[in-house]
Structure 1
Amino acid sequence: MGILLGVLIGAAVLAAFGGLLWYVWRRVIRDTTERGSRWRRVGTVAFFAGPVLMFAALAAERAGAPFFLQQLLAWPGFLWMAFALYLLLALLVGELVRLAYRARPAIEDEARRADEAGEGAQPQESGDVTRRLFVARTVAAGAATAAAATVGYGTYNVLRGPKIKRVTVPLAKLPRAAHGFRIAVVSDIHLGPVLGENFARRVVDTINSTQPDLIAVVGDLVDGDVEDLAPAARPLADLRAKHGAYFVTGNHEYFSGAEQWVEHVRDLGLHPLENARTELPYFDLAGVNDVQGEGEGEGPDFGKALGDRDRSRASVLMAHQPVVIHDAVKHGVDLQLSGHTHGGQLWPNNFIADLANPTLAGLERYGDTQLYVTRGAGAWGPPVRVGAPSDITVVELASRHA
C-alpha cells in the first residue's frame, strides 16, 4: 500500500511538472513563433534541454557519478531549475497583460471593425494576429528578462559569500563570567560540484573575522564524497576559536557518507559531536546526529547526549534540523542551534519551508528552550538565493547575572 501511494504521488508530481512545463513552452515558444518555423523547432529543442540537464544533474549527484560529470551538469542544470521557477512566476504575472489586451474597450474594437469593413475582412484578421504576436513576444521577453535578472542577482548573493548576522541570547543559568561569550554559527555550506574551495575559503575568512570564542558547524557541510571534496573542505583546517570548532551531521552528510566525513572533519581539526557532550568552562555543549541517520541506525540520541548532565549548568545543543526542538525541550536544553531550512532559499519556497519547520529562521522560544535557526552560508541545488540571504550568525550569550 505504501509503495502504491508513493507511485501515485510520484505520478501526480510528474504530471503537474509536465503541465507547468507545457504551459511555459506554450507561452515562450509556441505563442511567439510561427507554426513549422525554424525558430519554433530550435526554440523547442533548446527549451526542453533545460529539464533534461536538471534531472541529469540531480541524478549524477545522487548516483555519485564521476565528479567532473557532476560539475559539468550542475551549473546549467541547477541554474535552469531556478530560471524556470521565476520564468513561470513572471509568465503568470504576464497573464494580467493578456487579460488587459482581451478586455480592451469595446469602442476601440468597433472603430477598428468599421475601418476594416471597407477594405475587406483579411486586414482585420491580419491585424489581430500581428497584435497578438506582439503581445505574446512582449510578455515572453519581459518574463525571460525578469527571470534572468532575478537568478543573476540571486547567484551573486550566494557567490559573494554569507554576511555576518549578530543576535544576543540571554540564558538564565549562564554565569556572569560567560557574559558576552560568542558562538559563530554556520550551517548548510553545501560544498559540492558548484561551491568549492574558493567558497569555503570565503566562509572561513568571514567566520574568523568575527573572532568567536567557539564555532558551531551545524550540518550540511557537503554534497559528495571525501575523495572528491577533500580539496574543497581544506580551508576548514584554518578555523580559529578560543574554545575550538565543533561539528554535527546534517541530512546531506548521510547522502554523502556521514562516517567518512566525521573522520575527515576530525582530521581538519574540528570536533564532531555524535550524540555527545563536552563540558566547557561555562556551559555544556552537546550535539546530536541528524534525523536522516535513523535509516542507518545513527539517528539522534538525546539520552546519550544529555541524559546524565548537571541541569544546574546552562546547555547549548547543536542539531541540524529545527524539528527536534521538542526533544530538546524535554531534556532541559537552554539553547538549540540549527540550520537546514535555508530560510526557504528561493522565494516563494519559504512558505513551504515554513510549514515543514517549527521555525524558518531567527530566534524563537519553546517553553524554557530557545531555538535559533540560521539561514545557512551556501545553497543546495541552484546556487541562487532570493528573499533568503545567507548568513553566518554570531550568537552572543548574555548572563542575567551581569
Structure 2
Amino acid sequence: MLSVVAIVLASYLVLRVVFPLRLPWPVRAGLAVLVYGLALHHRIVARFAGSMASPELPKLVIAALGTGFIALLLTALFVLLLDVVTLMLWALRRRGALATLRGPWLRPGVAVLALLLSAYGTWRAMVVPQVRQIEVPIAGLPQAFDGYRVLQLTDIHASRLLTGDWVAGVVAASNAQQADLIVITGDLVDGSVTARANDVRPLADLRAPDGVIAITGNHEYYGVYRDWMDAFRAMGMAVLENAHVRVERDGAALTIAGVTDPVAARYGQALPDIDAAIAGADPQAPIVLLDHRPVEARENAKRGVVLQLSGHTHGGHIVGMDRLVARANGGFVSGLYPVDGMQLYVSNGAGLWPGFATRIGVPSEITVLTLRRAEV
C-alpha cells in the first residue's frame, strides 16, 4: 500500500513539476527517475541495505535520502495547494492571477523552497536536544516527593544516523541535570545488538541516585527483542515488562510501573498489561506509568495512575502534521495533558526513526519533570 502511495505521489510530481521544465529531455528523464527513486527509497534500502527500520548506510547517505524524501512530500503538498487555487481562479475567471500561478518557474521554485525546508528539518533532527523543564502537579503526592526530579528520555533511536557520538552527547546533557531518577520510555535503538553495539554503549553511563528505568517501544521488537532486553539490563537499566519497582524517600514511596508495546503481538512476546504491571503495588504509593504510546491514557487513568510518561509521536515531526499524528494517538501528541484526574506527558523525543528524519517547528527534547504536590 505504501509503495502504491509513493508511486502516485511521484507520478504527480513528475507530471506537474518535472515534465513541464524547459530542460532537455534526458535531463527531465533523469529527474523523473530520481523522483521515483526517492519516493520508493525505503523499499529499495530494505531490499539491499538493511531494513526499513534500520537502514545500514553511511550517515550522510541516510541524511541525503531523508532530505530528498521529505522535500518530495513538501513539494507535493505545496504544488497541490497551488493547483487547487489555480482551479478556483479558473472557475472564477481570474485570468491575471491565473497567468501568475501558471508561470513556468513557480512550481520548480516551490520545489527548491521545499528542499531548503527539508534540509533544515534534517539538521534539526540530528542535533543533540535541548533540556525542557516541566512542573507536574500531582494530587496526593507524598510530601517527601515534592520537588522530585524525573528525567525522561524517549525515542533515542540509536542508528547509523544518530550514532554513538550523538548518544554520548544526549547522555552528557542528561547527567548534567542531576535528576533523582532517569526513565526511558522506549524506542532506544534501531537495528540488531551486533549492529548497534557501539552506538548504544554510552547509555551505560547514565547516572541518577534512584537509577535508570526503561521500557520497550515498538522499535526494539524489529531487532531481536530478547537480545535487546539482555543488553539493556547488562547496561544497568531496570527494564519493566508489565512490571513495577518501588522508589522510596524518607519513608514514602512511588510505584514506577512499565508496560510493553502492542507490536509485541507480531513477535510472540507479552502484550501490554497494565493490570499485571501494577499487581501487588503498595496502594499508598502513587503510580507513575511508563507507556511508550499515549493512546491508552484514559484507560490507564482508570487504574489509578497519577502520571503517565510517553513518547512515540516525535511531537508530530512538522508543524501542522502534528494534528494528524495526534488523531492516531488518542488526541495526544506533545506536552502535558490532564486526563481524567491523571497527568499525561508526551515527549517530542530525543531522536527519531532515520526513515523520517525531520523536525520542522517541533524540536527534540530531553525532559526534566519536577513533581509538585497539589492539594486535593
With structure 1 as the length reference, what TM-score do the two structures score? Answer: 0.83
SS at match of 1:77: helix
Q: 1:133 to 1:26 in 2, by over 3 A?
A: farther
Q: 1:202 to 1:300 in 2, by over 3 A?
A: same
Task: Return the offset for 1:81.
Answer: 1.9
1:373 to 326, 346, 349: 346
Larger radius of gyration: 1
Letter in 2 for 1:89: L
Letter in 1 for 2:141: L
1:318 to 290, 304, 310: 290
- 5+ long unaligned stretches in structure 1: 1-9, 110-130
Q: 1:72 to 1:228 in 2, by over 3 A?
A: farther
Contact kept, 8 Å, 1:33 with 1:39, in 2: the verdict is no
Does residue 294 in structure 1 map to residue 262 in structure 2?
no
Q: Who is 1:285 aligned against?
A: 256
Q: Who is 2:217 aligned against?
A: 250
Q: Who is 1:103 aligned against?
A: 94
SS at match of 1:334: strand
What are the superposed Cα offsets for residues 191-243 of structure 1, whole Å, 9 maximum, x if unpaired? 11211112111211221121111111000111100100010001111111111
Contact kept, 8 Å, 2:351 with 2:364, in 1: the verdict is yes
Task: Return the offset for 1:96.
Answer: 7.2
SS at match of 1:322: coil
Q: How does 1:200-211 map to 2 (within 5 A)?
A: 200-211=167-178
Distance 1:253 1:191 in 2: 11
Distance 1:43 1:364 in 2: 46
SS at match of 1:32: coil
Distance 2:115 2:318 in 1: 14
What are the superposed Cα offsets for residues 17-68 of structure 1, whole Å, 9 maximum, x if unpaired? 333221211222111136x733223322333332343322345443788x74
Task: Return the offset for 1:275.
Answer: 1.3
Contact kept, 8 Å, 1:288 with 1:301, in 2: the verdict is yes
Q: Who is 1:33 aligned against?
A: 22
What are the superposed Cα offsets for residues 307-365 of structure 1, whole Å, 9 maximum, x if unpaired? 22222211111110112223422321111111011111134431221111121111112
SS at match of 1:323: coil
Contact kept, 8 Å, 1:361 with 1:372, in 2: the verdict is yes
Contact kept, 8 Å, 1:56 with 1:77, in 2: the verdict is no
Contact kept, 8 Å, 2:146 with 2:371, in 1: the verdict is yes
Q: Who is 1:161 aligned against?
A: 128
Q: How does 1:319-358 map to 2 (within 5 A)?
A: 319-358=291-330
Does residue 53 in structure 1 map to residue 20 in structure 2?
no
Letter in 1 for 2:277: A
Letter in 1 for 2:157: H
Q: 1:397 to 1:133 in 2, by over 3 A?
A: closer
Does residue 19 in structure 1 map to residue 41 in structure 2?
no
With structure 2 as the length reference, what TM-score do the two structures score? Answer: 0.88
Distance 2:337 2:170 in 1: 26
Deviates more, 1:292-301 or 1:280-289: 292-301
Letter in 2 for 1:308: G
Deviates more, 1:244-253 or 1:40-49: 40-49
Distance 1:246 1:194 in 2: 25
Q: Which one has the bigger helix percentage?
A: 1
Deviates more, 1:164-173 or 1:342-351: 342-351
RMSD: 2.8
Contact kept, 8 Å, 2:45 with 2:52, in 1: the verdict is no
Letter in 2 for 1:290: D
Quote the sequence identity (%).
33
